[in-house]
Amino acid sequence: MSEALAAPLSDADATIQSMDDASPTKWHLAHTTWFWETFLLRDHLTGYRLWREDWPYLFNSYYEAEGERHARSRRGMLARPSLADILTWREHVTQAMAPLFGREELGDLIELGIAHEQQHQELLLTDIKHALFQNPLGPSMWTEHPEIPHRSAGKGNWSEHPGGITPIGHRGPGFAFDNECPRHRVLLEPFALADDLVTNGEWRAFIDDGGYRAPSLWLSDGWAWVQREGIAGPLYWRGDEAFTHCGWQKRDEQAPVTHISYYEADAFACWAGARLPTEFEWEAAAATRDALAGNQLDRAGPPLPQGTGELFGDCWQFTRSAYLPYPRFRAAEGAVGEYNGKFMSGQFVLKGASCATPRGHSRSTYRNFFYPHHRWQFTGLRLAKDA
């Protein structure tokens, strides 16, 4: 599946890196392979020999416990190994994995490997989009538009929630990241959540009303960022077009706005006389809906048609909650313990899932996280207010 995403790309497409935050397509394919090879094959398959002794140095992302590694900012220098070489390695590793799938004690680690692979599938898409965007020719990798959030605008309704003591975090069974645990209780005030995501058309109104020029709407760090970077609209906007995996396309004003930063989301909410929800409010609302709808939360992913009011599948939705550990949180043992916990400063939690999230990957307890200036993910917003 990861290979399928890379299929329309040339070796050169798959090699370039547009910024430190983004990685080359090739690197994503190699890094996820490294993850399987390291934490499953090397650690658990007797007699397994590394495909190449010097590749782990290249494809370890940030696991300090796994030793020194190639600098993140220089991943775009890896013209070698080629895309074909990496695909060969992937095939080798995939086959070598076969005997491990039946081993029950490895179940959690394998599920982690799958979730990890899925996360990198989304990153692969957002990173290559950013890379193609650098090219003045406006190249495309697809001829249709599966990645554009396409939910039509709603009716502006709000769903109220009575607040109270609410369970938060993963209950199980099923896989969840360590940062979704342990399940615990949170006390909420009554609140309301918008049924719909904010749309491109609503964002246009914010711009036209001088939203990017009014410091009173902005957080102090956000205003400094707007001034320093000359921000005047969402990433990927140009006139009435937006850049997509299919090149420059006319923007749909009814579709959810995306590729905005936390700073922008917060300023918009302020301008709209509302606020962003907390991660707990979002999760409580999702649990309520879940209870009403039966257990069908997990419908993320591009192929599914989206109806009004969907929580998943259009954009990741900023919350005003900082990404911090839940009470009694414990990181996993070993190198995989570096997966989530060490990033718990300076970032904000996003809930939901985007059009680029693999179907079945997200859930209502899922905690995605990015820095407040990040925009290259499919980020959007859903307003909240006090009830």
Q: Is 165 in the site for its own copies (CB under 8 A)?
A: yes
155 interacts with its own copies by CB under 8 A: no
Q: Does 50 participate in binding its own copies (rule CB under 8 A)?
A: no
Site for its own copies in 279-318 (CB under 8 A): none
d(CA 194, CA 381): 10
By CB under 8 A, the residues from 359 to 378 that bind its own copies are: 372
CB nearer its own copies, residue 10 or residue 157: 10
Percentages helix, strand, coil for the chain (3-state, rounded to 5) are 40, 15, 50
Q: Does 386 bind its own copies (CB under 8 A)?
A: yes
Beta carbons of 103 and 51 less than 8 angstroms apart: no
Q: Which residue has the tokens 């929800």?
A: 277
135 contacts its own copies (rule: CB under 8 A): yes
Q: Render 107-156 in DSSP notation, one character per residue.
A: HHHHHHHHHHHHHHHHHHHHHHHHHHHTSTT---S-SS-TTS--PPP---
Which residue among 46, 95, 143, 220 contacts its own copies (CB under 8 A)?
Answer: 220
Region near its own copies per CB under 8 A, out of 55-63, 113-121, 289-297, 305-313: 55-63
Separation between Cα atoms, residue 35 and residue 53, nearest integer Å = 14
The phi, psi pair for 39, rounded to 5°, reads: -85, -20
Task: Give the torsion sign (CA, 288, 163, 168, 273).
Answer: positive
State the nearest-atom distance from the C-beta of 4 to its own copies, in Å.
Answer: 19
Asked if 34 interacts with its own copies (CB under 8 A), we say: no
DSSP code of residue 42: I
The 62-91 contact track toward its own copies, x by CB under 8 A, reads: x-xx----x---x-xxxxxxxx--------
Distance CA 117, CA 360 (A): 13
Of the ranges 60-68, 89-97, 104-112, 284-292, which one interacts with its own copies (CB under 8 A)?
Answer: 60-68
Interatomic CA distance for residues 258 and 102, integer angstroms: 41
Exactly one of 171, 185, 213, 238 binds its own copies (CB under 8 A); that residue is 185
User: Which among 132, 139, 136, 141 is positioned nearest to 17, based on CA atoms?
Assistant: 132
Q: Any contact of residue 320 with its own copies (CB under 8 A)?
A: yes
Output 139 or 201, the one with its CB closest to its own copies. Answer: 139
| Distance (Å) of CA 337 to CA 53, 143, 209, 375 | 24, 40, 46, 27
Q: What are the residues binding its own copies (CB under 8 A)?
A: 10-16, 18, 54, 57-58, 62, 64-65, 70, 74, 76-83, 131-132, 134-137, 139, 165, 184-187, 189, 215-216, 218-223, 262-263, 266, 320-322, 324-325, 327-328, 338, 342-346, 348, 372, 386
